[in-house]
Each structure stands twice: as C-alpha cells, then as structure tokens.
C-alpha cells in the first residue's frame, strides 16, 4: 500500500496549459484534478478536496481572485496563483484575497514544483509541542491557535508564519528571512508576500490590528513576535 | 541653447559702474524700468496721477491768484474811499482854521492828524511838505508816525502827490509791524493845503493789508488741503477703476495659469462686459475642447494599457505551455539522438530569449503607455549592487572578467524603486561583462546629500561617439557582427534609461574606442529633491590606462584599510 499522492487542483481555462502542468506534476508524483471554469471551481474543490490549488487569475465566470476569497471562507488549503501580470495591483489583490504565493507566467517546471513543494511540506520548525506568543497558545502538533478557550482559524501558511516568529521570540526576522523560512525562496523575492500575509495574520490574531502586539513591526528591519502575556 | 528667463538690465554707462552707490541707483533704475515696461496698471495709474495732479495744481494756482487779486482790489477800493474821506475832512478842517503862527499851526496839525486818524481808521499817517515852496519857520515839520516812517514812502509816490493837485495816489509797500513782523500794505497819498504860511503838504495814510493777507493764507491753506484730499480721492478712484478694469484680465490670467498647471476643470466666470464675456466664452470653449482632448487621450491611454495587459496575458499563457513542454523535453534530452538533443537545446535557449524579449517589450510598452507606477521604499544601493554582482558572478567568471566594487558611499538608504534599480544595475553589469573583453570591470558607488550614483566601467572595445549617442535607442546594437553571450534583447538600455528617469534620475555614458566604456547612473535620494550634480565623475582622467585605474583603486583600498 503506497502513501497517497498529494492531489492538486489546477484551475485554468487554457486546456493546453492545464494539460502541460498536469504532465509536469504527474511526473513529480502528484495527482491532478482540472477545472477550466471559474463558476465550477468551488464544486470541483469540494468534490476533490485537493491538498493544494493552482489558480489562474483570469478565468471565465468567477475570476481567480473571487474564487480565492470564496475558498478562504471554507478552507485554509494552500493556494498558488498563476498570474500573467507582474503589475502590483493584481499580485497584491490576489495575496489579499488569501493566496499563499504566486507564480508569474511564463514559469518553468522547476520553479512551479519548488513552490508547490514548499507549500505542501509541513513546518520545519523544530520546537516543543506548545508555543506561546502574546496571549495566544500555538498547538504545534494539532496546528491550532487558541486565545484562552477561543480557537482562531489560520491557514497553514499563516500558522507557519506565526510559529516561525513565535519560536524565536527574541529575534527580529527580516522580510527576506521570512521569505526564505516560510515561503522557501532562496533568492531575493517579492517582499509584498510578507507584508500582505502579516496584515492578514494580524487581522485574525490581533485584538486591534492597528495596534499590533502579537506580530510587531521593527521599522526598517522586519517583524518580531510579541512578548508572552499571562 | 538656453532661453533666459528675464532680460538682463541694459548695460550701464562706464562712470556708473565705478561706485557702488551709482551701481545701486542703476540697479534700482533698471528694476523700476522693468516694472514700468511690464505693468500697464502702473503706467495707467502714473499717467492718471500726473495729469490730475497738474490739473489740480493749475486750477489751485489760478484760484489762489484770482482770490488774492480780488481781495486786494476790494481792500484797495475801500482804502481809497477811506483816505479820500479823511483827506477831504482834513482839508475842510484846515480851510476852517485861521491859524497863522507856528504854535497854532502846530496845534492845527495835531487836531488834523487826530481827525484823519478817526476818519481813516488808520494810525499810520505821514505829513510831508511839498518842496519848492517858500520857506516858513511856522510851517509844520515833515512828520511820519509809528509804523509809517518817511523812508517807506517811495519817491515815485511823493513826486506824484507833489505834482498832482486833487487826486489820490497809491502805492503797495511792505510795512513793519510793531512786533517786528512785516505785512503788505497800501499807502495812499493826497495833497493838503495849510492855512497861512503852512503851504502845501502831502498827506500819506498807510493801511495794513494783514487782514487780507490772513484771509488769503487761510484760503491758501484750504486750497492746499482740498487739493491734497482731492488728489488722494482721485488716486483712490483711479486705483479702484484700474482694478475694476484690470480685474477681468487678472481673472483671465489666473485662470489660464491654473489651466496650464493642469487644472482642466477651471473656467472663466462672466465679467459683466461684452468684450470680456466674449473672451471668457472663447476661453471656456478652448478649455472645454482641451479637456475633452485630454480625456480622449486618457481614454486611449487606458485602452492602450488594457491592450498591453491583454496581450501580455494572451501571449504569456501559450508561452508558459511551450516553456513547460520545452523544459520537459530538455530534461530528457540525454535520451534523444544527437539531432534531437541539439534541437531541444535550441528550443530551450530560444524560448528563454523569446521570454526575455516579451518581458522587455511589455515593459517598454508600459512606459510608452505611461502606466508605470513607482514602488519606492528605503533602498540600500550598495546591497543591491553586491547582490547583482553575486548574481552575475558565474557569467563574469565564464567571460574571464573580475568585478571590483568600490563603495565610497551609498550605504544609507535612499527612496528608490528597488526592482527598477536592480534591473538597471543588472543591465549595466551585463553589458560590461559582454563587452568587457576579459578585462576587469570597476563598479564605483558614491553619494552626497541629494543623490546617489554608481558608475560601471569596463576596459573593452568601447564605442565611437556616434555609437554612444545611439546606445539608448531601442534594438540598437553597437556592432551587429559581434557574438552575443548574454543574448540581450536590444531593449535593455532603453528600459534602463526609462527606469532611471521615471525615478527622477539620469543615465549617461562615456566611451572611447579601445578604452572601454563607463555608464553612470545617478538617482535622487528623495523623489522630490532634485539631484543637483552627480556624486561621481563620468569621464576617466585623460590617458588613464586600465593599470593606472586599478592601481588607484588598490591605493584607495589600502588607505581605507589602514
């Protein structure tokens, strides 16, 4: 009995590209499900329960950003956007809608697979079972965050980001360092990824996102976790 | 060719330049002249002021003159009547007297003087015997009175009185008052005949005109004051009128200025005057059509942007498929025969080239469409350069080129768009490696308070002057026959130039055949602070060889280390 292959939902209206992506991913040992219509993407997701979604931005019916928002309402599944545009607005809109990462067309197979692998790999932070930050408790094994008895829903990426910061509360992480640890970028990448996801994380975990105490900004350097509050 | 913003003051004559005072006068004169020539308002107000001033002056003078004249004549008439009455009364008194000896004549004279004083209401009386009569001891002495010494009476008047018999004569004089002041006066003279041996005498009565003088000076003061207020009032009137007349022009000027400054929605209000309303109307029509045109262009630009964006998407999707397919094939190239192997290699490299070309084309069309938005953040130039050098190290090694980075400054963050700066530096380094002919490449970074700069110097073949002028042109290549190692798209420097100027910076080049090239990028520290001058020198010293340059760098390194 082999271990089940991770499955990936590819939402793209260009069948040639979908097929080609399928060939590449299958070659890497992933199962693939395809959907070429924005309106059917949610159904396809519910039906196939993939481990990761590759989402084109420009789609007939619902566009990628709308699908992303809807998906985030019901799941924290890793989402990687496929975008043809490097324009700020598109990328930022996608990230703000909840996409974990993005790949700019034309991408090469190595790049795509590297991005998928990082998102599917469990957090590599070696820490105890329970980590505390501010008034929050992170259950590392159960991938849960609690404030007192209240459970806070985070996507795996957001959990990973918070855990990375919280595991070394005395350390200030630069955006580049976070890109490397959380997103797996070895080279200089888009720091907007960090900015947008820190904002999203704060919106969920901070009591007052304008006065953050869990994830604090160190001006000109980066971010650090807030002190533990009893 | 520079167009001077303002005309220089006209050259001053030589002697004026000698002393500072004259120079100042000259400067002020020139400034006034400029103001005079440039301001219709000033000219109008000056002309109106001068003309009304002259009018007030002339009419005031005339008024004063005629009032004075009239006052004098009236007074004179009165004086003549008074003195005539006095003289007649005195003569009657004399005629009625039978005085013959000196004592009685003397007393008669006294009585007569009293009478004259009463009837003429003047204290200033003089009595002069007409000369040429028989001498008499009894005849009364010539006598003046206080306020009317005999010396005041002119010979001319005395002669006339002596000659004439019955009529009166008069003369204008200046009288000394008791308090030492002087006032104008009239002396009226007439003949009296004394009884006995007295003979003929001239009776002189002086009247002071100080009353009339006072009245006249009062009139003068009033006139002066009235004139002054009239001038003031007129000045204000002219000012108000000029403002009223010039207001529509000022409004028009202000509106045009705002329109020129980019406020396309400004319009000129109606001014309540036919000609100006016509002006307003035409102006507003012009502004309307201008605004429409701008909107049309903006719409076109938006369409162009959307087109670029659509093309981008449409081309990129199939290219992605091709890229993936090519890479899958490329990964399996070792399983293919020689021809297939080479084919997949070619496919692989050309897809890469196609991709770069597409990226560059889209970038430049984004600049053309004006749809470029800067994303500035505090950026460390030295770090960017070091990263770029690291990234190109393998390429440089392959070309046998060592890259020396000398950062004298640039360690402090500047407000820049790091993506664009990175792209420029990557481009310049790439070019230097490609054309560097296996000689070292020197990268210098420096900064001052307003700007940061970087030069990339190679010691390769260099370019002719014609080439350097075209080096930023699109798809231009210095030497078409030269082999390409990096496989640039021909758009690199054109994009770099746009990248630099979009951030308010400069990109310039020096090059000489056989000596190599030097590209200099200068960027402002803050987006809204102008650069001034570049912190780095573009042209290397004349006749400096590569060895000299490197030795100089080594010396600097040692100096910096110690």
pLDDT tens digit string along B209-263? Answer: 888 888 888 888 888 898 888 888 888 888 888 888 777 778 888 888 888 888 8
- The structure's pTM equals 0.56
Instruction: For residue A20, count CB atoms less than 10 angstroms from its CB and return exposed for 0-12, middle for 13-18, buried for 19 or more.
Output: buried
B387 reaches A (C-beta below 8 A) = yes
User: Is the per-residue pLDDT at B536 higher than 70?
Assistant: yes
Tell me whether residues A108 and B323 touch, CB distance under 8 A.
yes
Tell me whether residues A24 and B323 touch, CB distance under 8 A.
no
Residue-wise burial string across A183-219, b where 16 or more C-beta atoms lie within 10 A, e elsewhere: bbbeebbbbbbbebbbebbbeebbeeeeebbbbbeee
Tell me whether residues A109 and B327 touch, CB distance under 8 A.
yes
CB B231 within 8 A of CB B56: yes
Rounded to an integer, the average pLDDT of B326-339 is 91
- Shortest CA distance from A189: residue in chain B: B419
pLDDT at B117: 82
User: Is the per-residue pLDDT at B4 higher than 50?
Assistant: no
**322-361 in chain B: CB under 8 A from chain A:** 322-325, 327-328, 331, 355
User: Is the per-residue pLDDT at B46 higher than 50?
Assistant: yes
A160-180 pLDDT per residue, tens: 899 888 888 888 998 888 888
pLDDT at A46: 93
User: Is the per-residue pLDDT at B534 higher than 90?
Assistant: no
Minimum mean pLDDT among A16-30, A116-130, B71-85, B97-111: which range? Answer: A116-130
B58 or B248: which carries more pLDDT confidence? B58
A73-93 pLDDT per residue, tens: 888 899 999 887 666 677 888
**47-86 in chain A: CB under 8 A from chain B:** 58, 82, 84-85
pLDDT at B3: 42
- Closest to B325 (Cβ–Cβ): which among A14, A20, A27? A20
Give the DSSP letter of residue A2: P
- pLDDT bracket for residue B19 (50, 70, 90): low
3-state secondary structure of A61: coil
Tell me whether residues A188 and B321 touch, CB distance under 8 A.
no
User: Is the per-residue pLDDT at A203 higher than 70?
Assistant: yes
Nearest to B435 by CA among B543, B514, B544, B355: B514
pLDDT at A88: 63
- Shortest CA distance from B383: residue in chain A: A188
Q: What is the distance between the alpha carbons of residues A30 and A24, in angstroms, rounded to a whole number?
A: 9
- pLDDT bracket for residue B347 (50, 70, 90): very high
- pLDDT bracket for residue B11 (50, 70, 90): very low
The torsion of the CA quartet B295, B300, B303, B305, rounded to 10 degrees, works out to: -100
Which residues in chain B are closer than 8 Å to A21, comparing Cβ atoms? Answer: 324
Which residues in chain A are closer than 8 Å to B322, comparing Cβ atoms? Answer: 106
Helix/strand/coil (H, E, C) string of B23-66?
HHHHHHHHHHHHHHHHCHHHHHHHHHHHHHHHHHHHHHHHHHHH
User: Is the per-residue pLDDT at B561 higher than 80?
Assistant: no
The percentage of residues in chain B with a pLDDT greater than 70, rounded to a whole number, is 92
- Closest to A85 (Cβ–Cβ): which among B313, B323, B387? B313
Q: Residue A102 forms beta bridges with which residues?
A: A81
Residue-wise burial string across B246-263, b where 16 or more C-beta atoms lie within 10 A, e elsewhere: eebeebbeebeeebeeee
A23 reaches B (C-beta below 8 A) = yes
B304 or A56: which carries more pLDDT confidence? A56
Q: Residue A81 forms beta bridges with which residues?
A: A55, A102
> Judging by DSSP bridges, how do beta strands A79-83 and A101-104 pair with one another?
parallel
pLDDT at B8: 46
pLDDT at A126: 60
Minimum mean pLDDT among A102-106, A113-117, A221-225, B166-170: which range? Answer: B166-170
pLDDT at B17: 53
User: Is the per-residue pLDDT at A47 higher than 90?
Assistant: yes
Rounded to a whole number, what is the distance in Å from the CA of A204 to chain B's nearest CA? 27
The answer to ipTM > 0.90 is: no
Minimum mean pLDDT among A124-128, A155-159, B13-17, B202-206: which range? Answer: B13-17
pLDDT at B486: 54
Kindly report the number of other CB atoms within 10 A of residue A81's CB atom: 27
Rounded to a whole number, what is the distance in Å from the CA of B391 to chain A's nearest CA? 10
Residue A103 phi/psi, 5° resolution?
Answer: -125, 130
Long-range Cβ contacts of B179-187 (<8 Å, 24+ apart): B183/B208, B183/B209, B183/B210, B183/B213, B184/B208, B184/B209, B184/B210, B184/B212, B184/B213, B185/B124, B185/B209, B185/B210, B186/B75, B186/B76, B186/B79, B187/B148, B187/B152, B187/B153, B187/B157
Rounded to an integer, the average pLDDT of B191-201 is 80
Rounded to an integer, the average pLDDT of B265-289 is 84
- Closest to A106 (Cβ–Cβ): which among B319, B378, B413? B319
Tell me whether residues A105 and B319 touch, CB distance under 8 A.
yes
Nearest to B435 by CA among B465, B459, B455, B414: B459
Structure token digits, residue B345: 């290699």
Which residues in chain B are closer than 8 Å to A93, comparing Cβ atoms? Answer: none
- Chain centroid to CA B357: 53
Which residues in chain B are closer than 8 Å to A87, comparing Cβ atoms? Answer: 309
Which residues in chain A are closer than 8 Å to B309, comparing Cβ atoms? Answer: 85, 87
Tell me whether residues B312 and A23 touch, CB distance under 8 A.
no
The percentage of residues in chain B with a pLDDT greater than 90, rounded to a whole number, is 10
Rounded to an integer, the average pLDDT of A111-124 is 83
- pLDDT bracket for residue B353 (50, 70, 90): confident
pLDDT at B9: 47
- pLDDT bracket for residue A26 (50, 70, 90): very high
- Closest to B313 (Cβ–Cβ): which among A84, A109, A188? A84
pLDDT at B480: 59
B421 or B157: which carries more pLDDT confidence? B421
Structure token digits, residue B272: 């309540």
Which residues in chain B are closer than 8 Å to A107, comparing Cβ atoms? Answer: 320, 323-324
Mean of the per-residue pLDDT values for chain B? 82
pLDDT at B482: 55
Which residues in chain B are closer than 8 Å to A194, comparing Cβ atoms? Answer: none
User: Is the per-residue pLDDT at B272 higher than 60?
Assistant: yes
Rounded to a whole number, what is the distance in Å from the CA of A105 to chain B's nearest CA? 6
CB B495 within 8 A of CB B427: yes
Q: Which of B302, B306, B314, B321 to mutate to test the interface with A (most CBs of A within 10 A)?
A: B321
B376 reaches A (C-beta below 8 A) = no
């Amino acid at each position: 009995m082999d271990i089940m292959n991770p499955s990936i939902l590819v939402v793209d209206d260009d069948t040639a590209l979908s097929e080609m992506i399928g060939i590449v991913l299958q070659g890497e040992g992933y199962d693939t499900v395809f959907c070429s219509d924005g309106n059917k993407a949610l159904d396809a997701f519910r039906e196939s329960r993939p481990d990761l979604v590759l989402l084109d931005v420009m789609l007939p019916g619902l566009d990628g950003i709308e699908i992303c928002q809807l998906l985030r309402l019901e799941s924290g599944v890793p989402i990687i956007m496929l975008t043809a545009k490097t324009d700020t607005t598109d990328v930022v809109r996608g990230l703000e809608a909840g996409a974990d990462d993005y790949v700019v067309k034309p991408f090469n197979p190595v790049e795509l697979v590297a991005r998928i692998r990082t998102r599917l790999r469990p957090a590599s932070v070696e820490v105890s079972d329970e980590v505390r930050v501010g008034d929050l408790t992170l259950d590392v094994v159960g991938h849960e965050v609690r404030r007192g008895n209240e459970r806070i829903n985070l996507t795996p990426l957001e959990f990973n980001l918070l855990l990375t910061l919280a595991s070394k509360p005395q350390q200030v992480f630069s955006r580049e360092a976070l890109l490397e640890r959380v997103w797996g970028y070895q080279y200089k990448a888009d720091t907007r990824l960090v900015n947008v996801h820190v904002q999203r994380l704060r919106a969920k975990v901070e009591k007052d996102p304008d006065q953050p105490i869990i994830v604090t900004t160190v001006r000109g350097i980066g971010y650090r976790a807030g002190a533990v509050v009893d | 060719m520079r167009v001077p913003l303002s005309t220089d003051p006209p050259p001053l004559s030589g002697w004026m330049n000698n002393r500072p005072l004259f120079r100042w006068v000259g400067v002020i004169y020139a400034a006034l002249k400029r103001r005079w020539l440039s301001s219709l308002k000033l000219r109008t107000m000056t002309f109106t002021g001068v003309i009304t001033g002259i009018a007030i002056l002339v009419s005031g003078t005339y008024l004063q003159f005629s009032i004075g004249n009239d006052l004098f004549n009236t007074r004179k008439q009165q004086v003549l009547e008074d003195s005539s009455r006095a003289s007649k009364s005195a003569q009657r008194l004399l005629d009625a007297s039978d005085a013959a000896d000196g004592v009685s004549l003397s007393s008669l004279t006294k009585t007569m003087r009293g009478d004259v004083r009463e009837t003429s209401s003047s204290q200033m009386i003089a009595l002069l015997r007409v000369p040429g009569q028989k001498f008499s001891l009894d005849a009364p002495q010539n006598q003046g009175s206080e306020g009317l010494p005999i010396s005041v009476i002119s010979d001319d008047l005395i002669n006339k009185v002596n000659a004439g018999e019955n009529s009166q004569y008069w003369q204008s004089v200046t009288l000394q008052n008791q308090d030492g002041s002087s006032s104008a006066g009239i002396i009226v003279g007439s003949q009296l005949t004394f009884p006995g041996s007295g003979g003929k005498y001239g009776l002189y009565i002086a009247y002071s005109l100080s009353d009339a003088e006072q009245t006249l000076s009062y009139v003068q003061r009033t006139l002066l004051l009235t004139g002054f207020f009239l001038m003031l009032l007129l000045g204000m009137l002219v000012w108000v009128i000029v403002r009223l007349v010039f207001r529509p022009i000022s409004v028009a000027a202000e509106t045009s200025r705002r329109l020129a400054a980019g406020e396309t929605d400004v319009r000129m209000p109606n001014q309540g005057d036919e000609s100006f309303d016509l002006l307003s109307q035409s102006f507003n029509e012009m502004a309307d059509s201008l605004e429409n045109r701008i909107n049309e262009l903006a719409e076109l630009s938006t369409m162009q942007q959307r087109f670029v964006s659509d093309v981008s998407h449409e081309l990129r999707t199939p290219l992605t498929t091709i890229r993936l397919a090519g890479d899958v094939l490329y990964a399996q190239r070792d399983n293919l025969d020689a021809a297939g192997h080479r084919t997949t290699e070619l496919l692989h490299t050309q897809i890469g080239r196609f991709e770069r070309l597409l990226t560059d084309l889209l970038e430049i069309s984004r600049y053309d469409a004006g749809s470029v938005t800067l994303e500035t953040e505090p950026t460390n130039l030295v770090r960017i350069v070091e990263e770029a050098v690291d990234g190109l190290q393998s390429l440089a090694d392959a070309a046998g080129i060592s890259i020396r980075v000398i950062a004298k400054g640039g360690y402090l963050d500047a407000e820049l768009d790091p993506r664009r700066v990175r792209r420029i530096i990557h481009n310049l380094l790439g070019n230097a490696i490609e054309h560097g002919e296996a000689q070292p490449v020197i990268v210098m970074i420096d900064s001052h308070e307003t700007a940061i700069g970087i030069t990339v110097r190679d010691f390769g073949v260099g370019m002719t002057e014609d080439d350097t002028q075209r080096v930023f042109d699109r798809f231009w290549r210095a030497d078409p026959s030269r082999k390409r190692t990096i496989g640039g798209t021909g758009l690199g420097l054109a994009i770099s130039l746009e990248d630099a100027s979009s951030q308010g910076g400069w990109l310039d080049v020096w090059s000489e055949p056989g000596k190599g090239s030097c590209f200099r990028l200068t960027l402002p520290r803050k987006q809204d602070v102008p650069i001034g001058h570049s912190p780095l020198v573009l042209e290397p010293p004349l006749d400096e060889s590569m060895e000299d340059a490197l030795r100089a760098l080594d010396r600097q390194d040692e100096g910096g280390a110690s």
